[in-house]
Amino acid sequence: MSVNVPPNIHHVGEVTSTMDAARQMLTAANGAPFAVLAESQVKGRGTGERVWISPKGNMYFTLCISEKSIMPEIVPVLPLLTGLVCRAAIMSLINGANVHVKWPNDIIYAGKKIGGSLVESEGESLIIGIGMNVELAPPVTDSGRASTTVNEIAAALEQPKITPTQLAEFIWKHFFQMISDTTLTRKIVVTRFDAAMDKSLSLHRRTPTGRDPEELHAIGLNEWGHLIVSRPDGTEDTLMTDYLF
Ligand code: BTN
């Protein structure tokens, strides 16, 4: 399939957050898709208003696209689609890298976090932020999961280092390939994400003060992309809006 990939990735130095930088560029973009790739962020943010530590060396990337250019049934599963795109990017750039996803927005390798995404909106625009540890694994804070980097994976598999730009360009292109595919359905995204999840992970709900002690395990996704988990007593629960450690 030949896809018209917009060329406009803006490369910037240090910003507060690429989410803020992208918002400032929205008016000038006048509805056209664009992306911002920053060298570092001083106020990077993760899901649930958590800090995203953002030193030089990693990828800080925000894609902006009009909501109208995405099929309506795909919009609610955009975090899942973004995770699949990031996973595909790493697996294409590093032969043999067995990358997984963790619901709803994390990229995982060998049980460790490599990156995550954050979807926001502004008017009719979707603002999709992706942070990926390329060179540095920031310290794990507030009960978070241990992290690793794309280049640790490359080194372990004896392959050349990847740059944040290579990764961002691949993600940009593959994202457009996916959303331009008129045969893509929510069901396909959900099925692919389900197959790519690391179901061996111990999961804990995030609470305002830390993490809930109850240990959960992913069983699978329902048709809406909500996560079905098992509790220690064998009962099941369906998570719709939680973020998990
Ligand atoms: C998460 O909590 O896992 C999501 C992290 C998202 C971080 C990225 S880095 C680029 C963009 N700018 C931000 O301030 N946050 C997102």
| Residue carrying structure tokens 């649930």 | 48
Read off the DSSP letter of residue 228.
E
> Given ligand 1 and candidates 25, 47, 52, 113, which is best to mutate, with the most ligand atoms within 8 Å of its CB?
52
Task: State the pLDDT at residue 138.
Answer: 86
Please answer whether residues 62 and 129 qualify as being in contact, where contact means their C-beta atoms are separated by less than 8 angstroms.
yes
pLDDT band, residue 1 (cuts 50/70/90) = low
Compute the 3-state secondary structure of the chain and give helix, strand, coil in percent, each to the nearest 5.
Answer: 30, 30, 40
Please answer whether residues 114 and 133 qualify as being in contact, where contact means their C-beta atoms are separated by less than 8 angstroms.
yes
Percent of the chain with pLDDT over 90: 86
Rounded to the nearest angstrom, the distance between the alpha carbon of 118 and the centre of ligand 1 is: 6
Q: What is the mean pLDDT of residues 192-211?
A: 91
d(CA 169, CA 177): 12
Residue-wise DSSP of 156-208:
HTT-----HHHHHHHHHHHHHHHHH-TT--HHHHHHHHHHHB-TT--B-BEET
Question: Whose alpha carbon is nearest atom 2 of ligand 1?
Answer: 46
Question: Domains of the chain by range and CATH?
Answer: 9-195 (3.30.930.10), 197-239 (2.30.30)
Task: State the pLDDT at residue 5.
Answer: 63
d(CA 19, CA 110): 29
Atom of ligand 1 nearest to the CA of 243: 2
pLDDT band, residue 242 (cuts 50/70/90) = confident
Question: pTM for the complete prediction?
Answer: 0.95
Residues with CB under 6 A from ligand 1: 17-19, 41, 44-47, 50, 52, 60-62, 105-106, 116-118, 129-131
> Given ligand 1 and candidates 9, 11, 61, 130, which is best to mutate, with the most ligand atoms within 8 Å of its CB?
130
